[in-house]
Amino acid sequence: MKLLIVTAVEEFHDQVMQLFKKAKIERFSGSEIDGYKNPESLLMTNSWFPSETGGAESSMFFSFTEDDKIDTLFGLIKVFNTNIETNNPIKAIVVPIEKYI
């Protein structure tokens, strides 16, 4: 079992959900996040008005899942990313789990 983490701009939220479904990853969690390209953009967007945000609306998904499902998802993400017209590909990483209960 490994920890899978996937990030994407909000525009691709529904597509990520479909990719998880195709990879048969049925249990996962998600959260809305702000994405930044570099630390300078974060500093430049600080303001006196907390309602203003400079980050890109993004989503983060994570799942504790098996290698074969991760391999399938990575293949699907690779194909998806080759067909997009933006500079914001879906990104995914895998973290090994040493222990779990």
User: Could you give the domains of the chain?
Assistant: 2-96 (3.30.70.120)
- Burial (Cβ within 10 Å: 0-12, 13-18, ≥19) of residue 12: buried
What residues have CB less than 8 Å from 12, skipping those under 6 apart?
59, 84, 88, 90
Residue 73 confidence (pLDDT): 98
What pTM was estimated for this model as a whole? Answer: 0.81
What's the pLDDT score for residue 46? 54
Residue-level pLDDT at 61: 97
Residue 95 is predicted with a pLDDT of: 93
Position 86 scores a pLDDT of: 87
Kindly give the parts of the chain with pLDDT less than 70. Answer: 38-54
Supply the pLDDT for residue 51.
52
